[in-house]
Every structure is written in C-alpha cells, then in structure tokens.
Structure 1
Amino acid sequence: MTTTKIPARQIRAQYDSATLRVYQAYSDTIADSALKHQTFVSPPFKMERMTWIKPSFLWMMYRAGWGYKDEGQARILAIDITHEGFAWALANSCASHPEPGMDAQAWEALKHRSPVRVQWDPERDLHHRPLEHRAIQIGLSGEAVRLYAGEWIRQITDVTPLAHRIHALVSEGRLDDATAALPSESEYARD
C-alpha cells in the first residue's frame, strides 16, 4: 500500500462545481441570525471586525473544541461560498505576519493594501494533535467582509450536531466511525 504525502501547504476543502465550504464558529445569537438570513447581518455580526474562515473541518474542531470550548464558539457553521469569492480573497491577501527582514513601514503598507490575511497552521487529527501538513486560515476585513456577507455566500448550514456526533465517536474510541463521518476534503484544484 502506498500513501501520498500531503504537501506542507495545500488547500484542502470540501467543494463542488459551484462552491467551496468554509467553517466558522459563533455564539447562538450570531449563528441563529446567519441561518435565518443565510448570510451575516449586523447586528449581531460585526462587519468592522476581522472574521476568519477555515476550509478544514478538523482545524475548526480544534479551534472550537468541537463546539464545547466556549459559548462564543458553541455553534459550528458550514458556509458555502463562490469559487470567485475564494479566489478574490486569496488574490487580495498577504501573510498574517511579515516576511523575515521586512521593515515595519513596508509591512504596514502591505497590510493597508490587503483586506485579507492568510496563515498556515498545523492541521489536526481527530485527537487535535498537530500533523505535518498545514491548514489555511483566511482572515477577512473591510471590503473582504462586505463582499463575503454580501456576494460570496450561497448557503449556511449548522453542522454542530455533526461535530458533536464525531466528538462522541472519538471519545468512545470509535476512530474508524469518526473518520467515516468526517466531511470529504480534497486538494482544492479549480480549473
């Protein structure tokens, strides 16, 4: 049996011909509003704050503790966005930290021009242990948040019950069943 090693930085996501799925975790108030409106509206969502989207289900589970970490992350939402929106976010991004040797003035200018931040954090397994490859996180601010809420979102689904079910399977040591229940994510390659 041969296994293919995942590159250190590869966007992996659940997607189809129309949309790509990202995840966010919110309080009941924000989640209920988003589900009702099928987008984020202010209030209760704060358009002026940076909002982070994550294509990796397991990274979201790590970040939100399967929806049990705190009340502000109790609800896990799956947000299906357009490929065009995702491409726009990447094209208008910069790294969340300056490159080594970059001076402060150049860094501030780059951040000012870039409404999107990208960072790569270690992907996680079912026990939240870090893996060798990384998962992308994308921080949207300013114009990017307005486009996200106003144009890119096609559907919002509450996947908290799925998160809790997989967590229960992991807690029971039923890792094969937990793995089988995970959303299918593959290398993001859009023609």
Structure 2
Amino acid sequence: MTAQPMTPPPHEIRARHTESTVTVYQAYPPAIGLPAAREGRFPAAWKRDRMTWIKPSFLWMMYRCGWATKEGQETVLAVEITREGFTWALENAELSHYVRDVHPDQATWQRNLRRAPTRVQWDPERDLHLNPLPYRSLQLGLAGEAARRYADEWTVSIRDVTPLAQEIHTLVRAGESEAASALLPRETPWPATGRVPRPSAPEAHGS
C-alpha cells in the first residue's frame, strides 16, 4: 500500500533556509524591483516608513502577484535575510486580527498591535494552480523599526526570480505539473523557537 503524503500542520512556517539565512518573497513594479536586484539592496524609492509584507512561500507569492502579471507586481524578488532578523520579527509580532482564544480581549489585542513592529497573518497555502490548500502559510508585516532593519540590516541578497516564476507558470499552463514542481524552491519547516503568534483554530482568519 502506498503511503499518503502527510498534510502539514494548520499553522506551520515553511521556508527556504540555511544555517544563516531565510528567503522571503516580495513583488514590486520594475522601477523598484529591478534596481533592488541589481544593487542587492532596496533603492531610495522604497519607503522605509510604510508597512511591507514578506512571504516565505513562493506559491503564496505567485497567488498574490498572479505569476508576476498583476500591475505593480511584475518583478518578483527573492530576498535573503538573516535568521536573526527573521527570528526577531517573529518574536516581536502580534497577530493581524483578533482571536478570542488567543487574546484576553479585543482592547488588549489592539494595544499590542499598535506597539508591535511586526504582525503575523496566516493565509491558506496554494498549490501549483493557486487553489487554496487545507493548511496555512505565513505572511509577516514589517512596520517602523522592523521595516528599516529589514532593508538596512537584515538583507543579505536580493534576486530577481521573475524568469523562474514565468517558467513555472508556462509549465503549469502546459499541463506539465511534474516538471513545474521540480523547479519550485524547496521549502522546509522552520525550526521555530520562542514565541510565534498562531491562532488556536485552523479555520481562523485568512484571505
């Protein structure tokens, strides 16, 4: 009897990571994405005073940017950041939404959210066809101190992976799912330690 693949836990961080770095994804217009990849750092046009969302899941990024076809998201970046920075962001995060079983009350959550430099959101992971899966993927919102540290301290390298996204998308549309899957970045569970905000129920908020 063939063993069935195990479904990941409902709220698990999966990422491409090494002993020293974690890769996250973002999509930008070419005016920001191309110089960022070329210089290995975000250009002056990148606003450090605005919240920015990073995504460890390549396929969730593809869902968000429509395989790099949505306006303003035509350039997909793989941003390699330090493990220390990613861990700091997680440990200083608050959930982006109120959860009754997690927070004492809504007012406490709102106070914590205002103070937190980062926020966690769990959204349904996606398959090759961008259909939702029965488990969640992490999005991490960085604001204030976290956004500045992300751009100026944590970033190790920035690569333009738009050609990879386009190649995988072409294979998916051609019905060559096995070949498309073989090109996906390998993402494995993040060995989380310390505090990582998670809803207590798998059906909690997502989009």
Query: Which TM-score applies when normalising by structure 2?
Result: 0.87
Please tell me whether the aligned partners of residues 170 and 178 of structure 1 are also in contact (alpha carbons under 8 angstroms). yes
Pick the aligned partner of 1:41 from 40, 43, 50: 43
**Cα offset, 1:35, TM superposition:** 1.8
Aligned to 1:148: 150
Aligned to 1:168: 170
Aligned to 2:66: 65
Q: Does 1:157 align with 2:162?
A: no
Aligned to 1:31: 33
**Cα offset, 1:107, TM superposition:** 2.9
The 2-side partners of 1:164 and 1:102 are apart by 45
Pick the aligned partner of 1:14 from 10, 13, 16: 16
Q: Tell me the amino acid that sits aligned with residue 65 of structure 2.
A: A
The 2-side partners of 1:91 and 1:121 are apart by 19
Provide the secondary structure at the position in 2 that maps to 1:184: coil
Please tell me whether the aligned partners of residues 79 and 157 of structure 1 are also in contact (alpha carbons under 8 angstroms). yes
**Cα offset, 1:5, TM superposition:** 2.0
Provide the secondary structure at the position in 2 that maps to 1:32: helix
Q: How does 1:36-115 map to 2 (within 5 A)?
A: 36-42=38-44, 44-70=45-71, 72-100=72-100, 103-115=105-117
The 2-side partners of 1:19 and 1:55 are apart by 12
The 1-side partners of 2:192 and 2:51 are apart by 26
Please tell me whether the aligned partners of residues 54 and 141 of structure 2 are also in contact (alpha carbons under 8 angstroms). yes
Q: Does 1:183 align with 2:185?
A: yes
The 2-side partners of 1:103 and 1:16 are apart by 38
* 95-104 or 169-178, larger mean C-alpha shift: 95-104
The 2-side partners of 1:131 and 1:168 are apart by 22
Q: Tell me the amino acid that sits aligned with residue 95 of structure 2.
A: A
More helix as a share of residues: 1
Deviation by residue 1:42-74 (Cα, 9 ceiling, x = unmatched): 3x111111100000000000000000122x100
The 1-side partners of 2:130 and 2:154 are apart by 30
Deviation by residue 1:110-141 (Cα, 9 ceiling, x = unmatched): 11220101010000001110001110000000
The runs of 5 or more residues in structure 2 that have no matched partner are 194-207
Q: Tell me the amino acid that sits aligned with residue 114 of structure 1.
A: A
Q: Tell me the amino acid that sits aligned with residue 24 of structure 1.
A: Q
Corresponding pairs, count: 189
Please tell me whether the aligned partners of residues 41 and 149 of structure 1 are also in contact (alpha carbons under 8 angstroms). no
The runs of 5 or more residues in structure 1 that have no matched partner are none
The 2-side partners of 1:73 and 1:59 are apart by 13
The 2-side partners of 1:102 and 1:23 are apart by 33
